[in-house]
Amino acid sequence: MGKTEDPVTYEVVDAIAWVRFNRPDKRNAMNPDLNRKMMEVLDALEFRGDVGVLVLSGEGAAWSAGMDLKEYFRETEVRGQGAVRQAQRESYGWWRRLRWYQKPTIAMVNGWCFGGGYGPLFACDLAVAADEAQFALSEINWGILPGGGATKVVVDLLSMRDAMYHALTGELIDGKKAAAWKLVNESVPLEQLKERVTEIARILLSKNPVALKATKDAIRRVAEMTYDNAEDYLVRAQEAANFHDDGGRKEGIRQFIDEKSYKPGLGAYDK
């Protein structure tokens, strides 16, 4: 659950883990404390049987104002290269963990999202923003390039022209434009954000969890493969999934063909 002063808090409600950046006074900027705490929280939730989906949002007006310029950069840099590398390992580490998380993940972008925030944004499988949310690669505004994967994120998700404009100008875009650019799946008015994310989470909760993990990994992995390599990977990935859940797909076929209790074209089988 976490104490109110923790930089990350969470609660589990009806199989959804609501994880929140919790430094609202600092617009949820990611400092080393927050990065360490987030890894602990991800550890604690990943294999809990009562968690099916993880949602990452922010307390207050921000999703995350990116890296903490004081604590992550300035105060770490004065302690030397070892400290810098450690801070990078800690932040990149939980983002990587989130990219390959066991459960499907949704970024619920309730407000400001800057720079380093694009790491966890991309790490989440799906992203839904408030129309009112504001995004920017603001690195250029304080004199650096978008590091920590942020450049890679926009190149992977946006057109080259939009990525270039976004990174070179540091201009804000709102949730609607972020959705049009495909930085997020969709945007809705802030007052409907939690309801819409809950609705998507419930869709995911109705699916076979082994198939969800295999599918989310496959989407990320095949992006970098040739067609033939992808074809081969997907055969092997499904056979590995069968090892963890041999009965699921057979039951899915049985309920459709024998029981005629559902139609896969219209929804999920009864787990």
Query: Interface residues with ligand ACO (CB under 6 A)?
Result: 26-27, 29, 65-70, 112, 114-116, 138-139, 148
Q: Closest separation between CB of residue 144 and ligand ACO, Å?
A: 7
Q: Closest separation between CB of residue 29 and ligand ACO, Å?
A: 3
Long-range contacts for 36-42 (Cβ within 8 Å, ≥24 apart)? 36/90, 37/6, 37/7, 37/8, 38/7, 38/8, 38/94, 39/90, 39/93, 39/94, 39/97, 40/8, 41/2, 41/8, 41/10, 42/94, 42/97, 42/98, 42/101
Q: Closest separation between CB of residue 71 and ligand ACO, Å?
A: 7
Q: Closest separation between CB of residue 172 and ligand ACO, Å?
A: 9
Q: Is the CB of 88 or the CB of 198 nearer to ligand ACO? A: 88
Q: Is the CB of 17 or the CB of 178 nearer to ligand ACO? A: 178
8 A C-beta contact, residue 148 and residue 119: yes
Closest C-alpha to 92, from 71, 123, 69, 65:
123
d(CA 175, CA 240): 38
d(CA 127, CA 57): 10
Q: Is the CB of 100 or the CB of 142 nearer to ligand ACO? A: 142
Q: Is the CB of 138 or the CB of 187 nearer to ligand ACO? A: 138
Q: Is the CB of 91 or the CB of 208 nearer to ligand ACO? A: 91
Q: Is the CB of 113 or the CB of 184 nearer to ligand ACO? A: 113
Q: Closest separation between CB of residue 174 and ligand ACO, Å?
A: 13
Query: CA 143 from chain center: how many Å?
Result: 27
Element (H, E) at 128: strand 126-130
- CA neighbours closer than 13 Å in the CB half-sphere of residue 145: 8
Q: Is the CB of 27 or the CB of 103 nearer to ligand ACO? A: 27
Q: Closest separation between CB of residue 59 and ligand ACO, Å?
A: 13
d(CA 94, CA 109): 18
Strand partners, 54: 17, 105
Q: Closest separation between CB of residue 203 and ligand ACO, Å?
A: 32
- H helix intervals, 22-80: 32-46, 75-77
Q: 78 is written with which tokens? A: 């004065």
